[in-house]
C-alpha cells in the first residue's frame, strides 16, 4: 500500500520578513505597556481595584459564590448586590488566569497576576489586529494595523501594566468575533460562526461595549442583503452569532432576558429575520420574481422593526445606548456628562491620536466604495461606527485605531498597485516600471515612518508614567505619596465598622485598598445617592449633617492637588489642570442642579508680570459651603488676609489626618447631640 505524504509547505523570504516584523511589533507593544514597572507593580486608575476585589472573592470563595455575593461595604449603608451590578467576565478571567499561573508553578500573587494580565492581553490584541487586517485586506495591511494599535495612546492606556479592566478582556472577544465572522462567510461557516458567537458572548460578560460589535455585524449583514450580496453562509453566520450572543446576554446576571430582547438588540433580530426571508425566497425559480419578493419583504421587515422600536413595545431606549444613538440626549444625563471617560471625543483628539491616518482613511473609503466587495463594505462600516461611537464616548477610541489603520492600509495598498505598473510590460519599459515600483515603495515606507514616528515619541512619553495611585491621581511621571499614605492611614486607624463619605471618584480605592465601607464608588450605579452627596457637599454644615447622618457616615475624605502660591501666609490654589474636588464641584453642581456662579467666580491674581482672573470660591454661597470649608481649611487665614475670601471653619468636622502635601484631608464627624 502506498502512502502519499503531504508536500512540505514552503516558507519564502517574504514570509520570514512578515512574521519577523510582526514579532517585533508585538515585542514593541509589550515593551511600551511595561514602562510603568519602573515605579513598581500597581493596579492603575480606579476600576481595576474593584475587578481585583471581585477576582479575590472568586479565588477565596469559588466561582459559584459570585452569584450570591452581597457586598455591604459598597454604597453603604444599603450595600450592593454584586452579580446584578457588575460584569462577571473580568473577575472570572482574572481568577482563572491566576489559578492557571499557580498550577504552572508561578510564584505570584493575585494582585501581581492581574497587574501583568493587560500587558499580555495587549500583545495578544496586537496579534489579533494583524489577523483582522490580513483577513480583510492583506498581510501588509495587517502589519500596518498592528503597528498602529501597538502605539495607539488609548490602546496603551487601556492595556498597560495594571489596567486590569473591561477592555483588556472584552476586546479579546470582540476581535476574535470579527475575525471568525468574516472567515465564516467564506468557508467552514458553522464552526467559525460558533467561535465568533462564543467570543462575542464572552465579550458580553466583560464589557458593556458588546452592543457595538453585535449591532455592527447585524447592520453589516442587512447592508449585504440590500446590496445583493446575500448568501447562505451569511444567513448561517448571522443566526449562529446572534443566537449565541443573545443567549449569553440572557444568562448574564447583570444583563438578563429583558435586555437580550430589547431595543438594544432590534438590529440583530431584524438581521436574523431578513436572512430567514432571503433563505425562503431563494427557492423561487423566477429570478425577477425572487428579486422583487425579497426586496419587498426586506423593506417591509425594516419598516416593521423601526415601528416596533419607536413604539416602545420592547421597552425604552435609555442609558448609554441612548447617548450612542442620540448624542443630543446627553443634556438630560448629568452624571454621564461628568464622567471623564464618557465625554465625547473632539476632532482635536482624533488628530492628536491618529495624525496621518486621518488623511489616509478617507482615501481608503474611496477605494473601498469603488470596489464595493463584501469585505470593503465591512471595513467602511467598521470605521464609521467606531468613529461615531468614539465621537459620543471617548472610551471607545480604542476601537478606532485598528479601524482607521485598516482603512489607511487599504489606501496605501491601492495607491501602490495603481502606480507600480509592473504587470505585462516588456523590455526597457519593464525595467523602468520596476524602478518606479521600488521608488514608490520607498515613498510609502517614508510616509509610514514620517506618520508614525511622532506618534511613537508622543505615546512613549505618555505611557512612561506610574499608576495613578502612585502619582496621587495626577498622571504625573513622579511618585507622590499623598493617596498611598492616606489609604494606609485609613486602613489602620479608621474602625472597621465605620463608613467613609467622599465623592464617588475615590470610592474603589477607599473600599479596596483601605478596606473601608463607602457611600459611593466609581460604578455610579445609584444616581439618587450621588445627588444627595453632591447636595451635602454644596450646602451648609447643618444641611450636610442631616444627609450624612442618614447615611451613617463617620469620616469624610476630600482631595485637592494644590499649587502652593504662598507659604507665609499659606495659600494653595486649585490647579484646574489636574482635577480635584474643587474642580469636581462644578460636576456636583450640574448633578444637584445648582448654579456655578453661586459658588465659583473669578478673582484677580497678580503673577508678577500680569493679572489673571482665577476661578476661586468667591460666590455668595462659597463661604458656608461644606466642601470648601473642608478643602480650604488649612488655607483659610491666607485666603482671608490676602485674597479677601472668607472661608469659615467647620464646627462638627474634626481634621484627623493631612497628607504630606495637604492633598488628602480626612475629617471625623462629631455629630451634635439631639
What per-residue confidence (pLDDT) applies to 514? 97
What per-residue confidence (pLDDT) applies to 460? 75
Model confidence at 602: pLDDT above 90: yes
User: pLDDT confidence of 431, banded at 50, 70, 90?
Assistant: low
Q: Higher-confidence residue: 405 or 381?
A: 381
In angstroms, the CA 600 to CA 353 distance is 33
Angle between helices 166-184 and 232-251 in degrees, nearest 10? 150
Q: Higher-confidence residue: 478 or 331?
A: 478
What per-residue confidence (pLDDT) applies to 427? 46
For residue 113, give Cα distances in angstroms to 32, 92, 106, 323, 513: 18, 13, 10, 35, 17
User: pLDDT confidence of 25, banded at 50, 70, 90?
Assistant: very high
pTM of the entire predicted model: 0.89
In three-state form (DSSP H/G/I as H, E/B as E, the rest C), the secondary structure along 186-229 is CCCHHHHHHHHHHHHHHHHHHCHHHHHHHHHHHHHHHHHHHCCC
Q: 561-571, pLDDT tens digit by residue?
A: 999 988 889 99
Write the DSSP assignment of 319-337 as a string of letters.
HHHHHHH-GGGGGG-TTGG
Model confidence at 152: pLDDT above 80: yes
Q: What does the pLDDT average to over 648-661?
A: 96
What per-residue confidence (pLDDT) applies to 361? 85
What per-residue confidence (pLDDT) applies to 494? 97
Q: 61-96, pLDDT tens digit by residue?
A: 999 999 999 999 999 999 999 999 999 999 999 999
Q: What does the pLDDT average to over 119-132?
A: 96
When computed from its CA atoms, the radius of gyration of the chain, rounded to whole angstroms, is 28
Cis peptide, bond prior to residue 569, ω within 30 of zero: yes
User: pLDDT confidence of 422, banded at 50, 70, 90?
Assistant: very low
What per-residue confidence (pLDDT) applies to 1? 44
What per-residue confidence (pLDDT) applies to 510? 98
Q: 528-556, pLDDT tens digit by residue?
A: 999 999 999 999 999 999 999 999 999 99
What per-residue confidence (pLDDT) applies to 426? 46
* Locus of grid cell 450592593: 80
Could you list the beta-strand ranges (E) of 437-515: 499-501
In angstroms, the CA 193 to CA 181 distance is 6
What per-residue confidence (pLDDT) applies to 252? 93
Angle at 431 (CA atoms; ends 425, 436), nearest 5 degrees:
95
As a whole number, the mean pLDDT across the chain is 87
186 neighbors 233 (Cβ within 8 angstroms) = yes
Domains present along the chain, CATH in parentheses: 482-669 (3.40.50.12610)
Q: What is the DSSP letter of 510?
A: I
Model confidence at 425: pLDDT above 50: no
Residue 55 phi, psi dihedral angles, 5° rounding: -65, -40
Q: 317 Cβ partners below 8 Å, 6+ apart?
A: 263, 264, 309, 325, 326
User: pLDDT confidence of 423, banded at 50, 70, 90?
Assistant: very low
In angstroms, the CA 392 to CA 342 distance is 8
User: pLDDT confidence of 358, banded at 50, 70, 90?
Assistant: confident
Q: 249-261, pLDDT tens digit by residue?
A: 999 999 999 888 8
Closest by CA to 47, choosing from 340, 323, 308, is: 340
480 neighbors 468 (Cβ within 8 angstroms) = no
Amino acid at each position: 500500500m502506498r502512502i502519499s505524504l503531504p508536500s512540505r509547505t514552503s516558507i519564502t523570504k517574504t514570509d520570514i520578513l512578515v512574521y519577523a516584523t510582526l514579532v517585533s511589533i508585538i515585542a514593541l507593544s509589550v515593551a511600551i505597556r511595561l514602562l510603568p514597572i519602573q515605579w513598581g507593580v500597581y493596579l492603575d486608575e480606579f476600576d481595576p481595584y474593584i475587578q481585583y476585589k471581585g477576582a479575590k472573592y472568586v479565588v477565596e470563595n469559588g466561582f459559584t459564590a459570585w452569584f450570591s455575593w452581597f457586598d455591604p461595604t459598597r454604597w453603604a449603608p444599603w450595600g450592593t448586590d454584586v452579580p446584578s451590578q457588575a460584569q462577571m467576565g473580568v473577575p472570572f478571567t482574572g481568577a482563572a488566569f491566576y489559578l492557571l499561573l499557580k498550577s504552572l508553578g508561578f510564584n505570584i500573587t493575585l494582585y501581581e497576576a492581574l497587574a501583568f494580565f493587560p500587558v499580555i492581553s495587549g500583545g495578544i490584541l496586537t496579534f489579533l489586529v494583524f489577523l483582522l487586517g490580513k483577513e480583510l485586506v492583506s498581510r501588509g495591511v495587517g502589519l500596518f494595523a498592528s503597528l498602529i494599535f501597538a502605539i495607539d495612546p488609548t490602546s496603551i492606556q487601556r492595556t498597560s501594566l495594571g489596567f486590569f479592566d473591561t477592555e483588556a478582556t472584552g476586546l479579546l472577544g470582540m476581535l476574535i468575533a470579527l475575525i471568525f465572522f468574516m472567515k465564516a462567510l467564506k468557508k467552514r461557516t458553522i464552526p467559525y460562526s460558533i467561535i465568533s458567537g462564543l467570543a462575542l458572548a464572552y465579550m458580553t460578560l466583560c464589557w458593556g461595549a458588546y452592543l457595538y460589535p453585535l449591532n455592527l455585524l447585524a447592520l453589516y449583514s442587512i447592508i449585504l442583503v440590500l446590496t445583493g450580496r446575500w448568501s447562505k453562509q451569511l444567513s448561517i453566520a448571522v443566526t449562529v452569532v446572534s443566537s449565541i450572543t443573545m443567549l449569553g446576554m440572557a444568562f448574564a446576571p447583570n444583563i438578563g432576558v429583558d435586555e437580550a430582547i430589547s431595543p438594544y438588540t432590534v438590529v440583530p433580530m431584524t438581521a436574523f429575520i431578513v436572512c430567514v426571508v432571503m433563505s425562503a425566497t431563494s427557492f423561487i425559480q423566477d429570478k425577477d420574481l425572487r428579486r422583487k419578493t425579497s426586496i419587498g419583504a426586506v423593506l417591509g421587515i425594516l419598516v416593521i422593526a423601526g415601528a416596533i422600536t419607536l413604539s416602545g413595545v420592547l421597552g425604552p431606549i435609555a442609558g448609554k445606548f441612548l447617548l450612542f444613538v442620540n448624542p443630543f440626549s446627553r443634556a438630560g444625563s448629568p452624571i454621564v456628562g461628568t464622567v471623564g471617560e464618557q465625554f465625547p471625543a473632539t476632532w482635536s483628539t482624533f488628530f492628536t491620536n491618529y495624525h496621518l491616518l486621518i488623511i489616509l482613511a478617507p482615501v481608503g473609503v474611496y477605494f473601498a466604495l469603488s470596489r464595493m466587495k463584501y469585505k470593503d463594505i465591512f471595513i467602511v462600516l467598521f470605521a464609521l461606527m467606531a468613529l461615531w461611537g468614539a465621537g459620543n464616548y471617548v472610551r471607545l477610541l480604542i476601537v478606532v485605531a485598528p479601524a482607521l489603520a485598516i482603512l489607511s492600509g487599504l489606501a496605501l495598498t491601492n495607491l501602490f498597485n495603481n502606480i507600480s505598473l509592473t504587470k505585462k510590460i516588456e523590455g526597457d519599459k519593464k525595467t523602468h516600471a520596476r524602478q518606479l515600483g521600488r521608488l514608490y515603495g520607498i515613498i510609502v515606507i517614508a510616509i509610514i515612518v514620517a506618520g508614525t514616528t511622532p506618534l511613537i515619541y508622543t505615546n512613549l512619553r505618555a505611557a512612561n508614567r506610574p499608576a495613578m495611585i502612585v502619582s496621587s491621581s495626577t498622571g504625573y511621571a513622579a511618585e507622590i505619596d499623598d493617596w498611598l499614605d492616606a489609604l494606609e492611614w485609613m486602613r489602620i486607624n479608621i474602625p472597621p465598622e465605620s463608613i467613609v463619605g467622599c465623592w464617588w471618584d475615590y470610592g474603589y480605592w477607599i473600599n479596596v485598598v483601605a478596606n473601608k465601607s463607602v457611600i459611593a464608588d466609581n460604578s455610579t450605579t445609584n444616581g439618587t445617592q450621588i445627588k444627595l452627596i453632591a447636595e451635602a457637599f454644596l450646602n451648609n454644615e447643618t444641611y450636610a449633617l442631616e444627609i450624612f447622618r442618614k447615611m451613617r457616615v463617620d469620616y469624610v475624605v476630600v482631595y485637592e492637588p494644590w499649587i502652593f502660591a504662598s507659604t507665609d501666609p499659606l495659600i494653595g490654589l486649585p490647579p484646574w489642570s489636574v482635577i480635584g474636588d474643587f474642580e469636581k464641584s462644578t460636576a456636583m453642581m450640574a448633578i444637584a442642579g445648582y448654579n456655578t456662579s453661586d459658588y465659583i467666580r473669578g478673582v484677580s491674581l497678580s503673577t508678577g508680570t500680569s493679572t489673571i482672573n482665577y476661578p476661586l470660591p468667591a460666590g455668595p454661597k462659597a463661604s458656608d459651603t461644606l466642601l470648601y470649608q473642608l478643602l480650604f481649611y488649612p488655607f483659610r487665614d491666607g485666603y482671608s488676609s490676602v485674597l479677601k475670601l472668607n472661608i469659615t471653619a467647620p464646627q462638627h468636622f474634626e481634621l484627623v489626618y493631612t497628607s504630606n502635601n495637604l492633598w488628602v484631608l480626612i475629617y471625623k464627624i462629631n455629630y451634635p447631640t439631639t
